[in-house]
Amino acid sequence: MSDTGIEKRKAEHLRLVREDSVLHSKPTLLSDIRLVHQALPELNLSDIDTTASLFGKPLKLPLMITGMTGGTEYAGELNRGLAALAADQGIAFAVGSQRVLWRHEHLLADFAVRDIIGEGVLLGNIGAAQLLHEPMDRIVALVSMIEADGLCLHLNPAQELVQEEGDREFRGVCEKITELNERLDGRLLVKETGAGLSPETLIKLRSSGVDCVDVSGSGGTSWTRVEQQRAVSERSQRLGRSIGDWGVPTAFSIIAARSVLGEQATVIGSGGIRDGLDVARVLAAGGNIAGFARSVLLQFMDHGAEGAAQWVEQLGEELRSVMLLCGARNCNELMHVPRVYTGELKDWLAAYGWPGQGRT
Ligand SMILES: Cc1cc2nc3c(=O)[nH]c(=O)nc-3n(C[C@H](O)[C@H](O)[C@H](O)COP(=O)(O)O)c2cc1C
C-alpha cells in the first residue's frame, strides 16, 4: 500500500480505538485467577519492592506501554508524550510500526524519542510481514535508527486478513524470525496485537531461539473489530464480525508462555490490562511485566499527560497493595503466591493437560 495510505490508516486507527465497540466482548480471563488473601502478611507497605528489568535495564514498576503509533503529526505528539510519561514513571516504552520511515525519513522525529526517555527502555517496532518483503539489514537497522534497546516484531494475521489492504501471505516467517533474533543478539521481542500467543506458536518461537515475548492476548483491544469498522467492503465487514472475538485469552497465554519458554524467558503479559489487580494477576500467572496500549492512550487523550501519569501511579499503588495482601515482597515472590484458577481459564488449562499450573 502507498505510504499516504499507511498514514491515513494510522490516523483512522487512532480515531476508531476510542470507541468501546473495538473491545473484545469475551474477557481476558485474568479474573479467573483468584489470588489468595493473606491476613497475616508480616510485611509493611514500605517493604514492597515493585522493581523489574527489561533488556538489562531497570524499571521502577513492572510496566510497559506497548507499541502504538507514529507517522502522523498527532501520533508524533502522542509518542513524545507517552515517552516522557514512561521516563517519569520508570516504565518501558515501545513505538508503533516504523515501516513508514522507510519512505518518509522526515517523520523520524515522531519515533526518535531517545532524548526524552533518557536511560529508560525504548523499543522499536515492525510487522512480521515486512520480514518477507524487506532485506534483513533494513529490519535490523530500525533499532539503531531510533537508538532503541531492542525491536518488537508484531504478529497479526487475524488483523491482516480482515484489513482490506492487508497481507495474505504468512509462509516463511519462522525462518526469518530465527535469522532476525540472531542478528539482534536476542534483543528481539515477538508480540501479538490482541489475539494472543498459543502454546503451538510459543513452541515455534522457542525453536527460533526467541526468549522474549509479549502475549498481547484477547480480552482488550480487538484489531479484527477495528479493521471491520474501517472496512468498506462487505467481505471485510462480514469476516471482521465473525472473528471479532478471535484469540487466545490473555491469562491463558501468559501461563502458556511461561510454561513453554521456561524460567529464564522474559514474558510480557498484555491485552486488556485495566488496573493494578490485573497487573498483579499478570505477574502471578508468570509475566515479568504487564503491558498496555489502549487504556493508557485513552487516559492521555482524555486527561492529558498529568491524567495519564496519575493513572500509572494509581496502577503502582494498587499493585503494591495487592502484593502486600498476597504476602509478596517483590515481583518474583508474586509469581509464586497461592492462587486458585477458576471458570473458563480452568477449562483452557485442562485442555492442555496443565492442571499442575497452580491450584485448580
Ligand atoms: C492506536 C493503537 C495502535 C497500535 N499500533 C500498533 C503497532 O504499530 N504495532 C504493534 O505491535 N502493535 C500495535 N498496537 C497493538 C498494541 O500494542 C497491543 O498489542 C494491543 O492493542 C492490545 O493491548 P490493549 O488491549 O492494552 O490495547 C496498537 C494499539 C493501539 C491502541
Q: Which helix (H) or strand (E) holds 229?
A: helix 223-230
Mean pLDDT of 111-140: 97
In whole angstroms, how far apart are CA 150 and each of 19, 63, 118, 180?
Answer: 31, 16, 15, 11
Q: Looking at this protein, which amino acid is placed at residue 225?
A: R
Per-residue pLDDT tens over the stretch 162-172: 999 999 999 99
Average pLDDT over the chain, rounded to an integer: 95
On the CB side of 262, CA atoms within 13 Å amount to: 8
Q: Separation of 354 CA from ligand 1 center, angstroms?
A: 29
On the CB side of 300, CA atoms within 13 Å amount to: 23
Give Cα 27 distance to the centre of its chain.
16
Q: Separation of 192 CA from ligand 1 center, angstroms?
A: 9
Structure confidence at residue 75 (pLDDT): 87
Bridge partners of 270? 291
CA 229/CA 247 separation, integer angstroms: 18
Q: Which of 352, 343, 129 is nearest to 219 (CA)?
A: 343
Structure confidence at residue 354 (pLDDT): 86
- Contact indicator for 204, 227 with CB cutoff of 8 Å: no
- Contact indicator for 124, 94 with CB cutoff of 8 Å: yes
Report which protein residue has its CA nearest ligand 1's atom 19: 193
Residue 210 has pLDDT above 90, yes or no: yes
- Contact indicator for 65, 91 with CB cutoff of 8 Å: yes
Structure confidence at residue 72 (pLDDT): 80
Q: Separation of 105 CA from ligand 1 center, angstroms?
A: 23
Q: Separation of 17 CA from ligand 1 center, angstroms?
A: 10
Report which protein residue has its CA nearest ligand 1's atom 14: 68
Structure confidence at residue 77 (pLDDT): 92
Residue 359 has pLDDT above 70, yes or no: no
Residue 141 has pLDDT above 70, yes or no: yes
Structure confidence at residue 355 (pLDDT): 62
pLDDT band at 3 (very low <50, low <70, confident <90, very high): low
Residue 42 C-alpha cell reads as 508480616
Q: Which helix (H) or strand (E) holds 161?
A: helix 157-162
Structure confidence at residue 83 (pLDDT): 97
The CB of 357 under 6 Å from ligand 1? The reply is no
The CB of 285 under 6 Å from ligand 1? The reply is no
Residue 360 has pLDDT above 90, yes or no: no
Cβ neighbours of 51 (radius 10 Å): 12
Report which protein residue has its CA nearest ligand 1's atom 6: 68
Among 2-16, 38-52, 293-307, 312-326, which is the least confidently predicted range?
2-16
Q: Separation of 102 CA from ligand 1 center, angstroms?
A: 20
Per-residue pLDDT tens over the stretch 301-349: 999 999 999 999 999 999 999 999 999 999 999 999 999 999 999 999 9
Mean pLDDT of 97-125: 95
pTM for the whole structure:
0.97
- In CATH terms, the fold of domain 3-64+129-136+154-351 is TIM Barrel (3.20.20)
The CB of 176 under 6 Å from ligand 1? The reply is no
Structure confidence at residue 2 (pLDDT): 53
Give me the residue spans of the domains in the chain: 3-64+129-136+154-351
- Contact indicator for 121, 159 with CB cutoff of 8 Å: no
Q: Which residues contact 359 (CB under 8 A, 6 or more apart)?
A: 338, 339, 340, 341
**For residue 295, which atom of ligand 1 is closest to its CA?**
26
Residue 195 has pLDDT above 90, yes or no: yes
In whole angstroms, how far apart are CA 130 and each of 30, 97, 136, 176, 259?
Answer: 32, 10, 9, 10, 29
Structure confidence at residue 4 (pLDDT): 59
Residue 279 has pLDDT above 60, yes or no: yes
Choose the residue to mutate in 68, 69, 131, 160 for probing ligand 1, maximizing ligand atoms within 8 Å of C-beta.
Answer: 68
Residue 145 C-alpha cell reads as 535508527
